[in-house]
Structure 1
Amino acid sequence: MRTKTFQLDRFFDRRPDREEARALDVSIPGEPLLLLAAALRDQGHGDLVTYSPKVFIPLTVLCRDVCHYCTFAKQPRELSQPYLAESQVLEIARAGEQQGCHEALFTLGDKPELRYRAAREALDQLGFASTAEYLVHTAGLVFDQAGLLPHINAGILDSDEMSALREVSASQGIMLESVSERLTERGGPHYGSPDKRPEVRLANIEQAGRLKIPFTTGILIGIGETRLERIESLLAIRELDDRYGHIQELIIQPFRAKADTLMAAHPPAEDDELDWTIAVARILFGQHMSIQAPPNLSPGAETRLIAAGINDWGGVSPVTLDHVNPEAPWPHIEVLREKTAQAGKTLVPRLPVYPRFIEEPKVWFSSRVSDRVRIRSDSTGLVRTDRWFPGALTEVPDRRGSFPAVTVPGTIGQIRIRVEKGLDLTEAEITRLFLVRGEEFDYACAFADDLRDEVNGSTVTYVVNRNINYTNICHYRCGFCAFSKSSTRKGLRDQPYLLDTGEITRRAAEAWDRGATEVCLQGGIHPDFTGQTYLSICNAIREALPDMHIHAFSPLEIQQGAETLGIGIRELLEALKEAGLSTLPGTAAEILDDEIRQIICPDKINTAQWLEVIETAHALGLPTTATIMFGHVEHPRHWARHLLRIRNLQTISGGFTEFVPLPFVHQEAPLFRRHSARSGPTFRECMLMHAVARIVFHGQISNIQASWTKMGRSGISQLLAAGVNDLGGTLMNESISRAAGTRNGQELPPEDMDELIRQCGRTPIQRTTLYGRPKQDRINCSYGAPQLLPVVAMAPPVSTDNRVPATQS
């Protein structure tokens, strides 16, 4: 006997089993179902609702099936041509690409050549044996020539056909519609349609799972099925997804009657039935499944559908109509955005494949599709929404001097309260901050800037310094590094070079004469270098310029130097401090998570080793900076772990002077050129990295620095409104970012630095490396400085004679 007190709360933490699922068919009040579904959706998807900007390509509207509700399928006599020509397909796709679409939806009838001679003759003229073969060809054309990602909805396909399409598409799909055999009997909507038999469609969905194809499916409601039959249909899909993990989205589509069909007089699905089905689907599949309802089939019901538990609107086209439902126009994106916002959600575009599949590209895509998906996606697996790249001479996508004051309740508001109480944020909370968009993004940036104002006031600091990269010869093979001469590949890289102590000292002295208070020294790990090399450099500079601050040597160089001398890290650092070393740059950190380091720098020091060098330096009174290099293969959870490791060490040692986000510059990076990395972070991600760092490090690290070489002047102006208070150094020379492809110059002299800061309504102040105030004569000397003498970095790398050899003292 079914209980009248059916407890729904238990399904917040687990999915209903089959018996419990079938019991949802009883008369349970609708409101508790909807509330649970909405809570589950929020748990899995936050405040985001997605859609896929697409074009609809009806390759053929001939079909061997005769579904009683369909107006998509036509007879040959109704058509001027059985199939779209290649030129027509490409015209549609290119129009979509120009309008910012990412998806090319290929929808077509099932195997029309098995029913119509006209289809067979047309295929023969085109030079193809089947509709599926022509589909593979045209999808490949769209992929190669229009740049869109095909999504294939071609009905029942065999294994070879699906495998061939997998090579040129990001995803495929077929609607299950229903497992009800009744609907295939005489008088039913699927009578006379062999491809609509439940066992045939389920077998096709299972075949996609075996082939590792991200797959879309769903059910059609209101065609005569019962609620229990809907539940059985959803359970059948769930069982296949549990087995193969390939169902990327679930469509709950309401029947809409069409004129001139056998079901023209059939009543449409009621609104409450659609809401109930969405809610039950969410409860059966849990928080993470993407569940969509087409917005054009329920105009004006957007808020209601979101309340029922959807998190996605499906494909929406600014170019083509919905050929399956031509009477139902797509909503304009801005209208859909407004309707979504009215439900308290933020509308964001996505690719035709979902983020969880993008995280495992080798499993789910062919190599060529994997490369395209990676280029088009951001760190979360959603669409890259701007064409700004670190180091490029392009304006930022959103120019504004401040962020509006908005009130954001919920998780983000709670995070602010925790920070203001001095409580440390968790990995989950930090990750959540990195996911904000829309008003939550504005709120996070404004909060970060409030904290900056509280700690630093209106001043923006910078140091007059010179970068001296003494060699680009390196025996490490970091996949992100275009500076290292571990390859003779031509590109933006310099030729191999190695500076001798005389040239290093000359550059330092020239910098001193131009008002510098710091020299920053780093380079490749030359195979002939030892710890003595680094000691020699410090001794030479200190002897020539006793008042110059030496900021030098990454943790990688320290570890390598200690190993080559056969001494411990502490012993080498003590010797370097004695030789004049004052602080260390916290570079070589990249991402402090060994899962990522194994991909981008497998032969480099690991996370624990980096932290050991830094902690030892701090214990010896050698402060360091902290950095992160982001935007390549990692994800927000890795950023959160990185920040936590920095924060935890700072709690112990207190030795970090500043945090410096370094966006990955992709243009010349080997990892990118091998199609194994994203094209750097988006501008939104850069903004968030600086803002979230300010929030996470509040009370621990006072200074958040932005790299003008990577962010550009327009980027800097935005970051100064999102928690940044420092612009690093004037540099004079900058080799590493330039080698990677940056175009923002090698020096930003004090006059230009001051102007940039004042244009942002802030007060510029020169600083020392340790955030003190330089002597006035140093400041005076930095303005109107003479031009740098030409540098000659090229030198034959064969011999190290007179170039800081390892044995030189």
Structure 2
Amino acid sequence: MAAREGWRAGAELDAKEALALGEEGDLAALMMAAARVRDAGFGATVTVSRKVFIPLTQLCRDVCHYCTFAHPPKKGQRAFLTPDEVLEIARAGARVGCDEALFTLGDKPELRYAVVREELAALGHATTLSYLKEMAGLVLKETGLLPHINAGVMGEEDLLGLREVSASQGLMIETTAERLSARGGPHFGSPDKRPAVRLATLEAAGRARVPFTTGLLIGIGESRRERIEALLAIRDSHARHGHVQEVIIQNFRAKPGTKMAGAPEPSLEDHLWTVAVARLILGPAMSIQAPPNLQPEGLKALIDAGINDWGGVSPVTPDHVNPEAPWPALASLGVATARAGKVLAPRLAVYPRYLDDRATWLDCDVAPHVLRRADGAGLAHESAWRVGEEERTRLVDWPAAPVLAGEDATLDAILDTAFAGRELAEADIATLFDARGARAQRVFEAADALRRETVGETVSYVVTRNINYTNVCAYRCGFCAFSKGRQHAHLRGRAYELDLGEIQRRTREAWERGASEVCMQGGIHPDFSGETYLAILRAVKAAVPQMHVHAFSALEVRHGAATLGVPVPEFLLMLKEAGLGSLPGTAAEILDDEVRAIICPDKLTTDEWLETVGAAHRVGLRTTSTIMFGHVDGYRHWARHLLRLRRLQAETGGITEFVPLPFLHMEAPLYLKGGTRAGPSRREALLMHAVGRLALHPLIPNIQASWVKLGEGGIVAALKAGANDIGGTLMDESISRAAGGMHGQEFPPDRMEAAIRMAGRIARQRTTLYGEAPSRQKQRSYAADALAPRIEPAAGRFARVGSLAARQG
């Protein structure tokens, strides 16, 4: 009875308690308990991998009595796919948005067939595994698809070799019942199906640190007790090594032309029983999968029984192991998942926890390929959209989210707290960022409703000019492609430093073109002093006294103060007296030192940023606030960042707006070294605006969408997800363009307002501090002349103005 009550409560089961489940016949109770355990580990998300199936060879030394995949050599038919054929399949998958290349093949056919040995020799290989390694490496290099390899029984050395070219590997245990290998059994004559050798491969994979897939094939003659024994063997191996990333519970399908063509197939109820028992034995953290094409009428029931994954589904290749069972379309799989109250999400061939610890689990040459496809939770991007790039779609894109079945009390409670203006918990904010499908749409709609309630239907923008006065920087931030060393002309252009005359010329030109603001930031030139920044301010105000100067990051402020030997608040007052009107909330990146230690280890800390911005507010200077996200960070870091901004605003009230800045990866040094993701997904980029609206309400009323990062289509979408501002026209955008952004350097007022109208909203030209733009400047902004050529004098060793060396010399 104790064991019975243990599983009902979702408790961890010892071997004796697990074996006792073999006598449990209350399927409904088992499924309810398993679903609770699954929900504790995976919540509302059910995953699927978009894959291509590459059957490298269908020859095998084994003769399983239920298999139609493997067959003897046929006259005139090659034993292996050629490299061109392999790449043709992989490229077809890449074109339609697949992430995984599933290599499936027979087990060591060269040990049985001379024709295989001859063909391998002609290909320059002695073994099937050697050729497989070459082909997996070719697919990874040429297409970026992540190889998942099912190559049969292998030793540790073989697994380590394939680890160099794959994200994950797998081998179904199928059964630990030795009797099924005896004469008359389904595995008779198949040496690689002996339980001991398959379990040895499972152990070797653990020692080799390979993220591994395994599982059971049910209905081939095993008993329920024997299924549990196999599950316990898998659990024990995983306990030793931590390498089993998913367990498949696959149902036997009888196939014509095999010795088991007349064998009875397991019923749906038997399949559900096994799934539920597997979940109860393996616990909440293990991914449990059932192939959807083998049980098409039982999809909702399988979710109800405790699965959290559908395995790999291909939009371009059949299931070569079960060719009679076509894959479901992703759209129909999404509908079936929604009917069970869950959301379908794409995943990678390697699961998030192994990507998080990639130094342990992934080869250093494979890990960058995985990172490029990952979102902030370690799953896959839903679409082909990338920050800073032109809009593009795949031939088979992620399906629109179907309406969810039932209520979502957890999400409703979080949204209710946000609407009430109360601070959300870190975990609740992270939950909002992890919203997918219909749940993400609910978050967007809630943020849009809160925006409407808070600031109405008006969308604002400011006519401004960026003036980046130098790209010389003493810091080496891993995300920055803008800054240059003094003599590094090969890094996307030469190092420059503007003189005061050019800054004044650009200021006057901006005023004549309708600007009410100049936004000025630059690299931290090692010879700049606080006097440099003061001189820049004075020059701008001398050129156009009416111009609002929005300038200097927290890092620049601290650098200037340090060089003058004055406290930060005192230097801020000096800047204000010289003409500074407000500060951009940049240099924030992610306000969490765990992330900053990776992307900008020599930059200011989280506390230093908060102290500097808070000091600006206390001397009467308003600031914006930003987040630069989508690199090495995760949802918990984003949540902490928002909470720190909220608490700062509650204390000082000096933040005018929140500006999400999705990471532009293309030219970022850390990305080029394989150390970051390729920016956030489109879902994540939009959620940052929506969650920002919800988490910062009512303290920061303005949420800004960046056209530089999102493009016109992206800002229209952001305006429907909580944003009410689309930033500045910029005139001279250079930082994002240096990072590889393709959305241009200016977004003039007519295009700004067209995008706003496209979102069904009302346009308003504003000042930096959200006042009404001067009418004369508005008129000028709609009829601006083309910009004159810029002058960017080469930077020297010493600053042109306010030289630190001169002050110290």
Query: For residue 43 of structure 1, what is the aligned residue in structure 2?
Result: 40
Q: Is the 8 A contact 1:403 1:443 kept in 2?
A: no
Asked if 1 retains the 8 angstrom alpha-carbon contact of 2:486 and 2:495, the reply is no
Partner of 1:764: 763
Cα distance change on mapping 1:586 and 1:155 into 2, 3 Å: same
Q: What is the Cα deviation at residue 644 of structure 1?
A: 1.2
**CA separation of 1:321/1:739 partners in 2, compared to 1, >3 Å: closer, same or farther?**
closer
Q: Provide the rounded CA distance (Å) in 1 between the counterparts of 2:786 and 2:111.
A: 78
- 2:174 counterpart residue number: 177
Q: Which moved more, 1:596-605 or 1:278-287?
A: 278-287
Partner of 1:659: 658
Residues 550 and 580 of structure 1 are in contact (CA less than 8 Å); yes or no, is this contact kept in structure 2? yes
Q: Structure 1 residue aligned with 2:251, among 227, 242, 254?
A: 254
How far 1:640 sits from its partner (Å)? 1.2
Aligned to 2:149: 152
Once the two structures are TM-superposed, the CA of residue 510 in structure 1 deviates from its matched residue by 3.0
SS at match of 2:661: strand
Structure 2: any 5+ residue segments left out of the alignment?
none
Residues in 2 aligned to 1:78 and 1:45: alpha-carbon distance in whole angstroms: 49
Map of 2:31 onto structure 1: 34
After superposition, give the CA deviation of every residue in 1:356-406 in whole Å (9 maximum; x if it has no partner): 22223222222332121122222222222322222223368999xx99999
Counting only pairs closer than 5 Å after superposition, residues 379-398 of structure 1 correspond to structure 2 as: 379-394=376-391
**Alpha-carbon distance, 1:153 to partner:** 0.8
- The equivalent residue for 1:135 is 132
Secondary structure of 1:25's aligned partner: helix
Question: Which is further off, 460-469 or 256-265?
Answer: 256-265
Could you list the per-position Cα deviations for residues 686-734 of structure 1 after superposition, in whole angstroms to 9, with x for gaps in the alignment?
1111111111111110000111222222221111111111112222222
1:415 paired residue number = 414
Equivalences for residues 500-649 of structure 1 within 5 A: 500-649=499-648
- Aligned equivalents of 1:224, 1:405: Cα separation in 2: 41
Q: Secondary structure of 1:368's partner?
A: coil
Q: 1:372 to 1:655 in 2, by over 3 A?
A: same
Structure 1 distance, partners of 2:671, 2:576, is 38
Shift of 1:781: 4.1
TM-score, normalised to structure 1, is 0.94
Alpha-carbon distance between aligned partners in 2 of 1:76 and 1:288, rounded to the nearest angstrom? 43
The aligned counterpart of 1:714 is 713
Contact 1:378 1:682 in 2 (8 A): yes
Q: TM-score, normalised by structure 2?
A: 0.94
SS at match of 2:791: coil
Change (3 A) 1:490 1:188: farther
Alignment of 1:423-438 (within 5 A): 423-438=422-437
Matching residue within 278, 282, 287 for 2:279: 282
Distance in 2 separating the partners of 1:547 and 1:694: 32
AA matched with 1:499: L
Residues 564-600 of structure 1: CA distance to partner in whole angstroms, max 9, x if unpaired? Answer: 2222212212222222222211100011111111111
Report the equivalent of 2:485. Answer: 486
Shift of the 341–733 alpha-carbon distance from structure 1 to 2, 3 Å rule, reads: same
Does 2:103 correspond to 1:106?
yes
Could you tell me which amino acid in structure 2 is paired with residue 37 of structure 1? A
The question of whether the paired residues in 1 share the 8 Å contact of 2:3 and 2:17 is answered with: no
Q: Mapping of 1:729-808 within 5 angstroms? A: 729-801=728-800
Structure 1 counterpart SS, 2:369: helix
Q: Would the alpha carbon gap of residues 299 and 751 (structure 1) be closer, same or farther in structure 2, given more than 3 Å must change? A: closer
SS in 2 for 1:384: coil
Q: CA deviation at 1:32?
A: 1.9
2:356 to 355, 359, 366: 359
Cα offset for 1:430? 0.9
Q: Which one is further off, 311-320 or 171-180?
A: 311-320
- 2:184 corresponds, among 176, 183, 187, to 187
Is contact 1:531-1:806 (8 Å) kept?
A: no
Give distance in 2, aligned partners of 1:755 and 1:122.
63
Distance 2:805 2:773 in 1: 34
1:217 corresponding residue in structure 2? 214
CA contact (8 A) 1:155 1:174 kept: yes
Separation (CA, whole Å) in 1 of partners of 2:3 and 2:524 = 73
- Give the alignment partner of residue 367 of structure 2, picking from 346, 359, 370: 370
| Equivalent residue number for residue 158 of structure 2 | 161
1:452 matched to 2:451: yes
Tell me which moved more, 475-484 or 115-124: 115-124
What are the equivalent positions in structure 2 for 1:224-235 lying under 5 Å apart?
Answer: 224-235=221-232
Separation in 2 of the partners of 1:291 and 1:504?
A: 61
Over the matched positions of the two proteins, sequence identity in percent amounts to 55
When structure 1 is superposed on structure 2, of 263-272 and 148-157 the one drifting more is: 263-272
Q: Distance in 2 between matches of 1:491 and 1:451?
A: 48
Corresponding residue number in structure 1 for 2:77? 80
Report the Cα offset of residue 554 of structure 1. Answer: 0.6
Q: Kindly tell me: are residues 405 and 579 of structure 1, through their superposed partners in 2, closer, same or farther at Cα, counting changes over 3 Å?
A: farther
> 1:802 Cα shift?
5.1
CA, structure 1 residues 192+449, in 2 after alignment: closer, same or farther (shift >3 Å)? Answer: same
- Of 322, 325, 343, the residue aligned with 1:325 is 322
- Asked if the contact 1:404/1:442 (under 8 Å) is kept, the reply is no
CA RMSD, 1 decimal:
2.6
Aligned length: 804
Contact 2:49 2:348 in 1 (8 A): yes
What code does the residue aligned with 1:332 have? A
Code of the residue aligned with 1:527 in structure 2: it is: P
Shifted more, 386-395 versus 623-632: the winner is 386-395
Q: Letter of the aligned partner of 2:442 in structure 1?
A: Y
- Cα 1:776–1:236, aligned 2, differ >3 Å: closer, same or farther? same
Q: d(CA) in 2 for partners of 1:626 and 1:132? A: 54
CA distance in 1: counterparts of 2:98 and 2:539, whole angstroms: 58
Per-residue deviation, residues 251-271 of structure 1 (Å, max 9, x unmatched): 001122223333333221122
Instruction: Report the Cα distance in structure 2 between the residues aligned to 1:391 and 1:503, rounded to whole angstroms.
Output: 29
Once the two structures are TM-superposed, the CA of residue 220 in structure 1 deviates from its matched residue by 1.3
Is the contact made by 1:175 and 1:219 (CA closer than 8 Å) also made in structure 2?
yes
Distance (Å, rounded) in 2 between the aligned partners of 1:138 and 1:226: 39
Please tell me the residue identity of whatever aligns with 2:243: H
CA–CA separation in structure 2 for the residues paired with 1:183 and 1:404: 44
Q: For residues 330-363 of structure 1, what are the alpha-carbon distances to aligned partners after superposition, in whole Å with 9 as ceiling and x for unaligned?
A: 2233332322222222223222222222223222
* Residue number in structure 2 paired with 1:672: 671
5+ residue gaps, structure 1: none
Change (3 A) 1:145 1:739: closer
Deviation per CA, 1:61-92, whole angstroms, max 9, x where unpaired?
Answer: 22222323223232235773333333333333
Equivalence for 1:238: 235
- State the distance in 2 between where 1:15 and 1:461 align: 55
1:462 correspondence with 2:461: yes
Q: 1:340 aligns with which of 337, 350, 354?
A: 337
The worse-fitting range, judged by mean Cα deviation, of 571-580 and 652-661 is 571-580
Structure 1 distance, partners of 2:233, 2:193, is 15
Quick one: distance in 2 between partners of 1:350 and 1:5? 35
Structure 1 contact 498–803 (Cα < 8 Å) conserved: no
Q: Deviations over 1:739-780 (max 9, x none)?
A: 222232322333332333233322222222221223434434
Whole-angstrom CA distance in 2 between matches of 1:708 and 1:573: 30
CA distance in 2, matches of 1:808, 1:75: 85
Contact 2:530 2:802 in 1 (8 A): no
Partner SS for 2:199: helix
**1:186-237: CA deviations, max 9, x gaps?**
3332233222222211111111111111110001112222222212211111
1:698 aligns with 2:697: yes
Task: Please say if residues 488 and 495 of structure 2, whose CA atoms lie closer than 8 Å, have aligned partners that are also in contact.
Answer: no
Are the structure 2 counterparts of residues 395 and 118 from structure 1 closer, same or farther at C-alpha, using a change threshold of 3 Å? Answer: closer
Letter in 2 for 1:204: T
Cα pair 1:494 1:739 within 8 Å, conserved: no
